[in-house]
């Protein structure tokens, strides 16, 4: 388990299922979500691994446990000054977030956690200043990437590092 410098991390539940798909379903069901098939379909449409989409949602909003606005599972366009963006449905939020944020102009060529979270101390961007490191998904130097890696590690039953490739 990775913690930030203040000792914080999202607590990962114990998953008992075998296989990545089943463990992802189990994680969703523990958060009262039974929409794995919808998430899987949408993730494949936009070219990312389903478990990655679920773990980013857990990192951003604890799988809807802490929402600032309607259906904004990934906290996209919401600010610390409480400016918010709401969506009319889960599918709309998923497609808009991924098309504008993850597959948008600045992030569409990124393929690893290291490139999405270049401010993290384990990112290759800390030593290799390359084009991929220029734009960020989350500017947090620790918390966001740690929580995504912890979640993925829980699903895969092994430690996940910054080299993890999230695209299909």
Q: In terms of pTM, does the model score above 0.85?
A: yes
Q: pLDDT digits over 20-79, tens only?
A: 999 999 999 988 777 899 989 989 988 899 999 999 888 877 665 556 667 766 666 666
Identify how many contiguous H helices and E strands the chain contains and give both numbers. Answer: 6, 0
Report the alpha-carbon distance of residue 90 to residue 103 in Å, rounded. 18
- Angle CA(51)–CA(11)–CA(157) in degrees, nearest 5? 45
Domain locations along the chain: 20-63+89-156
Element (H, E) at 30: helix 20-30
pLDDT band at 145 (very low <50, low <70, confident <90, very high): very high
């Amino acid at each position: 388990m990775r913690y930030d410098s203040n000792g914080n991390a999202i607590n990962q539940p114990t998953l008992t299922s075998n296989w990545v798909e089943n463990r992802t379903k189990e994680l969703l069901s523990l958060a009262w979500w039974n929409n794995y098939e919808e998430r899987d379909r949408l993730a494949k449409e936009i070219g990312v691994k389903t478990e990655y989409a679920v773990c980013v949602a857990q990192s951003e909003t604890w799988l809807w446990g802490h929402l600032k606005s309607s259906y904004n599972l990934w906290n996209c366009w919401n600010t610390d000054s409480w400016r918010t963006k709401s969506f009319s449905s889960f599918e709309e939020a998923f497609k808009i977030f991924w098309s504008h944020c993850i597959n948008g102009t600045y992030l569409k060529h990124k393929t690893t956690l290291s490139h999405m979270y270049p401010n993290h101390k384990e990112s290759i961007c800390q030593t290799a200043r390359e084009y991929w490191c220029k734009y960020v998904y989350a500017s947090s130097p620790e918390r966001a990437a740690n929580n995504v890696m912890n979640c993925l590690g829980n699903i895969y039953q092994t430690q996940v590092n910054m080299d993890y490739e999230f695209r299909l």
